[in-house]
């Protein structure tokens, strides 16, 4: 039992050992929402990074049916990367 748990933990660490770094642009109002979400969950006793908040949003989108996902994505303002809104 202990050996199985250890193997699962090692496999989980190996899966997360490589990350992809990227740069993206967003309006200041959406960037501010990341911090607002972090503050809300901090009041519940949980501390999450900006990256974790964004990744949780991706997981939430991925869990949606396609029609809901399209509805949410269409609500996102299109901007040119690196440009002012």
Question: In which band, very low, low, confident or very high, does the pLDDT at 24 lie, cut at 50, 70 and 90?
Answer: confident
The enclosing H or E element of 50 equals helix 50-63
Q: Give the model's confidence band at 15: pLDDT under 50 very low, under 70 low, under 90 confident, else very high.
A: low
Q: What backbone phi and psi angles, to 5 degrees, belong to 31? A: -65, -40
**pLDDT band, very low/low/confident/very high, at 67 (cuts 50, 70, 90):** very high
pTM metric for this prediction: 0.71
Would you state the pLDDT for residue 84? 65
Report how far residue 59's alpha carbon sits from residue 61's, in angstroms, rounded to the nearest whole number.
5
C-alpha distance from residue 29 to each of 24, 33, 65, 82 (Å): 15, 6, 26, 15
- What's the mean pLDDT in 9-15? 60
Q: Does the pLDDT value for residue 76 go beyond 60?
A: yes
């Amino acid at each position: 039992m202990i050996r199985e748990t250890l193997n699962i933990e090692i496999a989980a660490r190996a899966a997360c050992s490589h990350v992809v770094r990227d740069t993206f642009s967003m309006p200041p109002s959406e960037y501010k929402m990341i911090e607002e979400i972090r503050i809300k969950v901090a009041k519940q006793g949980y501390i999450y990074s900006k990256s974790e908040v964004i990744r949780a949003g991706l997981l939430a989108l991925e869990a949606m049916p396609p029609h809901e996902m399209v509805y949410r994505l269409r609500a996102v303002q299109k901007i040119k990367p690196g440009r002012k809104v």
